[in-house]
Structure 1
Amino acid sequence: MSIKSFAAKLFAKSIHQKVQSWASKPVETQEKVFRDLMEQAKHTQFGKDHDFAGIKTFEDFAAKVPIRDYEQLKNYVDLVVKGEEDILWKGKPIYFAKTSGTTSGAKYIPLTKESMPFHIEAARNAILSYIHETGKADFVDGKMIFLQGSPILEEKNGIKLGRLSGIVAHFVPKYLQKNRMPSWETNCIEDWETKVDAIVEETFNENMTVISGIPSWVQMYFEKLQQKGGKPVGEIFKNFNLFIYGGVNYEPYRAKFENLIGRKVDSIELFPASEGFFAYQDSQTEKGMLLLLNSGIFYEFVKADEFFTEKPKRYTIGEVELETNYVLIISTNAGLWAYNIGDTVQFTSLKPYRVIVSGRIKHYISAFGEHVIGKEVESALQQAMQGTNVRVNEFTVAPQITPNEGLPYHEWLIEFDSDSSGEPENLEAFALKIDQAMRQQNTYYDDLIVGKVLRTVVITKVAKNGFQDYMKSIGKLGGQNKLPRLSNDRKIADFFKD
């Protein structure tokens, strides 16, 4: 054991004890975060407009501060972007994480000197939690790669801005600098395909032990490695044993990854976003990710099936239940207040509080009242693949409301792994397996099938790299960009039809 790995184990033990101290007191921890946020922001423009000084309880807050998304908070954000101080949070933010908006063009998510450290600590603590639980620390002596956006930052009214992953690249601890890959020059390449090619060349002969990124883009990296080396990634990188990912569910990719790697490796799931780092997987044996209750974020939860009612009930951490689909609402030390980030979560444990990401409140199919969510389609595909050699590169689902003939249906657009005989032998039988799994999970969908409102699932095969072509066509190839699992319209489906 090296000195570095020994030190990592000691550090991991210390951090584990700190985490347990707040995780064992969840309600008290969140109450303290709430009080601190109200106190620090009461003199801001937002705080004055919503009488933060008069807020004593969560009920006061819920009565005075409505749930908002970015578009509804934009008037305040625009003032911050102009360089004005004390608008959403005291002073000015130190960065803007620039993301793609839906109706307002670019979105500028503030990062403050109070919020930024928690993004870094959470990623670090996820790895330390793994070390503490498993006792495995040798990987700290090898090379680590984090597939991310360019760290080149712009500036707007004295505030630097860029992609969150690019901003985070400026905060890599000194003790990791020598281990971290790719080089700064390669990381600055904007074109994703060119960047991945350069990363392959840089890393091919290195002792890679940790690889991190969104699964769909790491898959591209692995495929290019395999093409260059003519053998599985696990043989190219013999000491690669830890995959860290976030952004999407890994399960639909797992069989494909194990085929590319040639063996199983441990994995750690993260739940980061520009708005905050919310959770990380703290156990290799328990389902879900530990919700970070002590990171400058106050959480509220609204039941997804009540979210679009006039006055949905807002729950705090002590009121949530297992296996209920909640819309995640946050108030943060970056100045986001009762903010809807768009993600839905389900609790898998209440001691401690662990969650899985179940989907997006805007990404669902309910063309006929079925309200199918991301977790359901991912689980259905996973069930259909069990006990088969089927492997899937990528997929999305859309409703077909007006077919040329027959009943409407849900169309599953799937890119199978055709390079390694990963396609089903009988496509219709595979579609029926998916359909049966969907009916078991979603009673509304089952009723529509039984009532002959819908026919069973129809699969459309997408050509190799088809989804990469789609993402490229909308300017979202690589980085933090993710393909929606579900659409309530046919914009994505029509791309392939055309």
Structure 2
Amino acid sequence: MANKPFFNSLVNWFIKQRISQIQNFINEPINTQNGILFSQLFHAETTEYGKIHGFSSISSYQDFKNRVPITTYEDFEPYIERARKGEKDVFWPGQIRHFAKSSGTTNAKSKYIPITDDSLNDCHFKAGKDLISIYANNHPDNLLFSNKNLRLGGSAEMYEQFNTKFGDLSAILIDNLPFWVELTTVPSRKVSLMSEWESKLQAIISEVKNEDVGSLTGVPSWMMVLLQRVLKETGVGTISEIWPHLEVFFHGGISFKPYREQYREVIGKDINYYEIYNASEGFFGIQDRSDSDEMLLMLDYGIFYEFIPMDTFGKSEPNAIPLEEVQKGVNYAVVLTTNGGLWRYLIGDTVIFTSLDPFRIKISGRTKHYINAFGEELMIGNVETAITQACQASNASIGDFTGAPVFMKGNESGAHEWIFEFNKFPSDLDLFVDSFDNCLKSINSDYEAKRYNNMTLKRPIVHCAKPNLFYHWMESRGKLGGQNKVPRLSNDREYIDPLLELNQKL
């Protein structure tokens, strides 16, 4: 690109004008949120969902809270399915053309989150600009627009015969980006939207290995796979030898903590790392300071936030509270009303507020047991179904179990490691493991993607527990008794390492 320094300076000047707007919602957070709520209600009052719940006559937050129920995906799925088939004005005005395919629920392998034109423009794309704005403001000497951004996205497919598309959120975003973004981004749109991962990775490497990449955007586990492939293809020792101007990795989707040192080794120098908090349902937080991993809650993206204290979660009538009532240090389940047409939607994430002025958060986990070290979003319901099928296939039965991730190391893929205490040992342990693995792939599309060709996740590692292992472990922790439960899934190795050690001693 001609005159790169001038172009870089011009874009940085333009994009940092957004900082003053961010400061506005920092100064007026509650007014900003109330404005969004009533704007959304007005916008959707003539939809079927709006008429059912009387949006046109809601005049206060309390009215909204009393009339509109808190929903899960299962609750909302009938409305979403109608919209997927092309029906208009179901829960958002007009026809919704895109749906983000996400990991499954208890009832379905995958779920489909509506992506409206409003959410694309006022949430997802706006957040992408804000991410750059915040980074440029924090690092005035950046050279982002003198070099290329390497993005790693998914594929897009058409849904049956209806005129609606579904695919990974990243693919939907790439498919709808303005043309000028292509000038500063690699790989090309065509390669970015390829669906077969092995061919796609090779195509990406071919396009990017000779580019001057200055920034990375993607999920840490998948990006690491790509970087390892680039090193193997080029035969060099570190990524900085290929891309000497690489300065930042914008990452999200899973915890970065286990990957930080591995990135330092692979890249070969210190760069900046900025976390983003986004999901198919919207874009919620951006790390706004380089010296802290807290994220600024973004309040003007067309999303109205409510929070349920986790000590009351699961009760028949959970008490959600608005932003103005939250407290620091309390673990909250997140409830969203979005410009994607979701109303009081329980996303399944939990957060803790680390600051109330401005409102900053850290992701604390999920409302259910899960493993999400690589973006697989493996829920306890998935695991219990797979165990049942594996036991049937191998004529086994299980008492207790727990599972945890094995994080990537060097060129090694990650894995899930399990300890099963069998009441009846399998007739064939390999058959049990393969049945368990194949069932997880069949009911969880994200797990299936990560297991593809062992690139991110290898075959599960399974240990057979010695008799009464879990009893002895719970006893050693002072946790015997009916009210204490064995942790089934963990996103770290806090439980499995002591169990493996104890199993060696018994």
What TM-score bracket applies, with the shorter chain setting the length? 0.7 to 0.9
1:229 CA drift (Å) = 2.8
Contact in 1 for aligned 2:103/2:377 (Cα 8 Å) = no
Give 2:256's aligned residue.
Answer: 250
Is the partner of 1:259 in helix, strand or coil? helix
Alignment partner of 1:192 is 2:197: yes
Cα shift at 1:413: 4.2
**Closer/same/farther in 2, CA of residues 473 and 289 from structure 1, 3 Å limit:** closer
Aligned to 2:344: 338
Aligned equivalents of 1:212 and 1:355: distance in 2? Answer: 21
Distance in 2 (CA, whole Å) between partners of 1:413 and 1:180 is: 32
Of stretches 75-84 and 318-327 in structure 1, the one that deviates more from structure 2 is 75-84
Which secondary structure does the structure 1 equivalent of 2:449 belong to? coil
CA separation of 1:87 and 1:120: change in aligned 2, threshold 3 A:
same
5 Å matches for 1:296-335? 296-335=302-341
Deviations 1:49-83 (Å, cap 9, x if unpaired)?
11212322111112122211111111222222232
Matched, 1:101 2:104: yes
For 1:436, the equivalent position in structure 2 comes to: none
| Aligned residue number for residue 427 of structure 1 | none
Q: Check the 8 A contact 1:143/1:181 in 2, yes or no.
A: yes
**Counterpart selection for 2:276 from 270, 286, 292:** 270
| Gap change, CA 1:472 and 1:278, over 3 Å in 2 | closer
| CA distance, structure 2, for counterparts of residue 292 and residue 269 of structure 1 | 13
Does residue 475 of the first structure (1) align with residue 448 of the second (2)? yes
Could you say what secondary structure the match of 2:89 adopts? Answer: coil
1-side partners of 2:310 and 2:185: how far apart?
A: 40
1:183 matched residue in structure 2: 188
Q: Distance in 1 between matches of 2:323 and 2:296?
A: 13
Q: Does the aligned pair in 1 maintain the 2:368–2:379 contact within 8 Å?
A: no
Change (3 A) 1:482 1:268: farther
Task: Report deviation, 1:234.
Answer: 1.5
Deviation at 1:192, TM superposition (A): 1.5
The answer on 1:203 being equivalent to 2:208 is yes
2:393 maps to what in 1?
none
Is 1:397–1:413's contact at 8 Å kept on the other side of the alignment?
no
Q: What is the letter of the counterpart of residue 249 of structure 2? A: F
Q: Deviations over 1:285-322 (max 9, x none)?
A: 23311111111111100012321012222111111111
For 2:156 and 2:378, locate their aligned partners in 1 and report how far apart those are by CA, in whole Å.
30
Deviates more, 1:312-321 or 1:105-114: 105-114
Give SS of 1:195's match.
helix
Cα distance, 1:193–1:93 mapped onto 2, change above 3 Å:
same
Contact 1:8 1:137 (C-alpha < 8 Å) held by counterparts: no
SS of alignment partner, residue 115 of structure 1: helix
Give the counterpart of 2:47 among 44, 53, 56.
Answer: 44
| CA spacing shift, 1:410–1:80, aligned 2, 3 Å | closer
CA distance in 1, matches of 2:84, 2:240: 46
**1:120 matched residue in structure 2:** 125
Structure 1 residue 143 corresponds to structure 2 residue 148 = yes
SS at 1:477 equivalent: helix
Asked whether the 8 Å contact 2:84–2:96 carries over to 1, the reply is no
Look up the equivalent residue of 1:488 and give its one-letter code: R
Aligned residues: 416
Contact 1:271 1:277 (C-alpha < 8 Å) held by counterparts: yes
Q: Find the counterpart in structure 2 of residue 442 from structure 1.
A: none
- How far apart, in 1, do the equivalents of 2:80 and 2:222 lie? 31
C-alpha separation between the residues in 1 aligned to 2:287 and 2:215? 16
Cα separation, 1, equivalents of 2:99 and 2:61 = 28
In structure 2, stretches of 5+ residues that fail to align are 388-398, 415-436, 458-485, 494-499, 501-506
Contact 1:81 1:156 in 2 (8 A): no
RMSD: 3.6
Matches of 1:343 and 1:267 in 2, distance apart? Answer: 22
Amino acid at match of 1:414: V
Deviations 1:230-275 (A, max 9, x none): 3111111111111011101111100111111111110111112111
How far 1:198 moved relative to its partner? 2.0
Deviation per residue, 1:86-112 (Å, 9 max, x gap): 110111113222334221344222122
Query: How much does 1:172 deviate?
Result: 2.8
Mapped pair 1:26 → 2:32: no
Distance 1:90 1:286 in 2: 40
Partner letter of residue 78 of structure 1? Answer: E
AA aligned to 1:37 is Q
Q: Distance in 2 between matches of 1:68 and 1:114?
A: 21
Structure 1 regions of 5+ residues with no counterpart?
A: 365-372, 379-391, 402-406, 423-465
CA contact (8 A) 1:395 1:412 kept: no
For the residues of structure 1 that align with 2:376 and 2:164, how far apart are their CA atoms?
37
Secondary structure in structure 1 of the residue aligned to 2:149: strand
Distance 1:396 1:311, change over 3 A: closer
- Select between 269-278 and 150-159 the one with higher mean Cα deviation: 150-159
Does residue 60 of the first structure (1) align with residue 33 of the second (2)? no
Within the alignment, does 1:160 sit opposite 2:152 as a pair? no
Change (3 A) 1:487 1:44: farther
Q: Which residue type is aligned with residue 311 of structure 2?
A: D
Could you tell me which residue of structure 2 aligns to residue 221 of structure 1? 226
Inter-CA distance 347–170: structure 2 relative to 1 (3 Å threshold): same
Identity across aligned pairs (percent)? 32
Question: 1:3 is paired with a residue of what secondary structure?
Answer: helix
Residue 396 of structure 1, CA deviation: 9.3
Q: Report how far residue 394 of structure 1 moved.
A: 11
Distance in 2 (alpha carbons) for counterparts of 1:71 and 1:288: 31
Partners of 2:182 and 2:407 lie apart in 1 by 37
Bigger mean CA offset, 293-302 vs 134-143: 134-143
Query: Are residues 140 and 149 of structure 1, via their aligned partners in 2, closer, same or farther at CA, if it must alter by over 3 Å?
Result: same
Structure 1 residues 109 and 482, CA gap change in structure 2 (3 angstroms): farther
Give 1:489 deviation, angstroms: 6.0
* Displacement of 1:171: 3.1
**Would the alpha carbon gap of residues 33 and 347 (structure 1) be closer, same or farther in structure 2, given more than 3 Å must change?**
same
Quick one: distance in 2 between partners of 1:393 and 1:188?
Answer: 19
Partner of 1:475, secondary structure, is helix
Q: Which amino acid aligns with 1:83?
A: G
Match of 2:290 among 273, 284, 300: 284
Classify 1:474/1:305 alpha carbon distance in 2 versus 1 (closer, same or farther; 3 Å).
same
Amino acid at match of 2:206: E
| 2:80 corresponds to 1:77 | yes
Q: In structure 2, which of residues 88, 102, 114 is the aligned counterpart of residue 110 of structure 1?
A: 114
Distance 1:229 1:244, change over 3 A: same
